Amino acid sequence: MEVLKRLFEQHYQLPAERVQPLQGQLGGSGRAIIRLAGGGFSAIGILYPVREENVAFLEFSRHFRDRGMPVPEIYAEDLSQGAYLEEDLGDTTLFEFLGRNRTGDVIAQPAIEAYRKVVAALPRFQIEAGRDLNYKMCYPRASFDRQSITWDLNYFKYYFLRLAGIPFNEQALEVDFSRLTKFLLGASHDYFLYRDFQSRNVMLRDGQPFFLDYQGGRKGALQYDIASLLYDGKADLPPELRQELLDYYLDCAGRFIDLKRESFMEHYYAYVYVRILQALGAYGFRGFYERKAHFLQSVPYALKNLRWLAHNVKLPIALPALMDALQDMLGSEKLRGLAASTEALTVRIFSFSFHNEIPADETGNGGGFVFDARSLPNPGREERFKQLTGKDEPVMEYLKQQESVHQYLANVLSLVDASVSGYQLRGFKHLMVSFGCTGGQHRSVYLAEQLAKHLRGVNGVEVVIRHIEQEKRNLEKIGQ
């Protein structure tokens, strides 16, 4: 953390007055992402120990900016510490904007227009800016070659199929994988492949898209990235809109090269399949293997896409063992149980310090509650509690003995319970509740934990809890 503060001060000649973890290490990449602000300026700091990946991102960012692409400016870096500072592009991802502008399968025009802007920008990355990119900087592979595809397919086999308990004939599946790989490599693959071109990696600022997380980019086929965007699991785009955006993409790409649609479409759905399998491998690794349950919430959306493909697409190659495994997935009781869990209301509970910013709602839902606990007795004033938090037994016992805390918590539970019931009746998926106190260490942590404990017993409710100040302390340890 200190290295990011130093980079901020070097760049702006001002100290960072506020430091706010944005997602800690909750994402799939393991990066620590921190917003630093001071003197009217704001920047995003990244802490990540994989030097090669950091170098790829920094080099690609400079290359793309030199060619006028909408990517963040790099302000400062310290690769020896796995740290760099980049432009703050705001808080609105394409995924969040989509959520605000849809009702079920009905997507409002502003979201469609945002997607069209993103689709129009993609060929510029792939063709225009990709022409003279230094592919020696790519990590871990310079191209989406046989090795890359093998890694993705094995990722799916071992971390999804096997851990989900889906039966398969390993030798027959390997034959299909080899056949699929050969077919995929038959497409022209001399373009920049973004690799993770999906709605959470696009920021919207003043209505314009900006792009992130291309550090895994390499040389590859055009089909992969547009498939990634249009079959992005939780975005859950309706088939008609996917087709409309695909047609628009082909028009845009055709302005840069002589694009033969029939040749493109011959390989397109094979790339859709391999992208979905790669994503399922990631969900399985993070969800089944690492037991991070929120990653499994994306599985039902991937299965929905596979079901649509099974009914609407016939690949030009036979993949019997793979298709049998996919059919078994679609019929799996275990995986159907995951689908049921996505209908739950997710209540996200935060503790924070009022010395810093109130946690932002990243779901696009808006609303919720912010409770100020500074009126309650403060354990932090007593020396015996200074090194403890609201999760430690001595602090909990102290607060339990305070009548004002009981009354406060009773009122909180009454308000939140009423909202939970109303949200469930109306089919809402997200509710956010934040507790703030002076240091974000004792009272707010205690109240957040008590609310989480209370809601974990409610049917149809999933609880996610984060303690912002505690996350900062953990990040400081990482950065030391």
pLDDT in tens, 35-61: 999 999 999 999 999 999 999 999 999
- Tell me the pairing of strands 430-437 and 32-38: unpaired
| Distance, CA of 211 to CA of 195 (rounded, Å) | 12
Nearest C-alpha neighbor of 215 from the set 437, 365, 30:
30
Average pLDDT over residues 295-304: 89
Residue 20 has pLDDT above 90, yes or no: no
| Distance, CA of 153 to CA of 144 (rounded, Å) | 13
- pLDDT confidence band for 26 (50 / 70 / 90): very low
pLDDT digits (tens, 9 = 90+) for 83-120: 999 999 998 999 989 988 987 789 999 999 999 999 99
Nearest C-alpha neighbor of 338 from the set 238, 462, 456:
462
In a 3-state reduction of DSSP, which class is residue 449?
helix
CATH 3.90.1200.10 residue spans of the chain: 94-341
Using an 8 Å Cβ cutoff, are 234 and 304 in contact? no
CATH 3.30.200.20 residue spans of the chain: 2-87
Residue 292 has pLDDT above 80, yes or no: no
- Tell me the pairing of strands 102-103 and 106-107: antiparallel
| Distance, CA of 389 to CA of 465 (rounded, Å) | 15
> Can you give the pLDDT at residue 457?
66
| Residue 143 phi, psi dihedral angles, 5° rounding | -150, 160
Which of 145-159, 267-281, 319-333, 409-423 comes out lowest in average pLDDT?
A: 409-423
> Can you give the pLDDT at residue 119?
98
> Can you give the pLDDT at residue 471?
85
- pLDDT confidence band for 297 (50 / 70 / 90): confident
Strand partners, 106: 103
The chain-wide mean pLDDT, for the chain, equals: 92
In Å, how far are 122, 152, 154 from 148, measured between CA atoms?
21, 6, 10
What size, in residues, is the chain?
Answer: 480
The matching CATH number, chosen from 3.30.70.940, 3.30.70.20, 3.30.200.20, 3.40.920.10, for 2-87 is 3.30.200.20
Using an 8 Å Cβ cutoff, are 68 and 41 in contact? no
In Å, how far are 269, 402, 451 from 409, measured between CA atoms?
53, 11, 8
- pLDDT confidence band for 171 (50 / 70 / 90): very high
Using an 8 Å Cβ cutoff, are 368 and 361 in contact? yes
The 8-class DSSP code of residue 143 comes to B
What's the pTM? Answer: 0.75
The matching CATH number, chosen from 3.40.50.920, 3.40.1180.10, 3.30.420.40, 3.90.1200.10, for 94-341 is 3.90.1200.10
Using an 8 Å Cβ cutoff, are 444 and 391 in contact? no
In a 3-state reduction of DSSP, which class is residue 105?
coil
Residue type, 129: A
- Residue with the larger pLDDT of the pair 275 and 401: 275
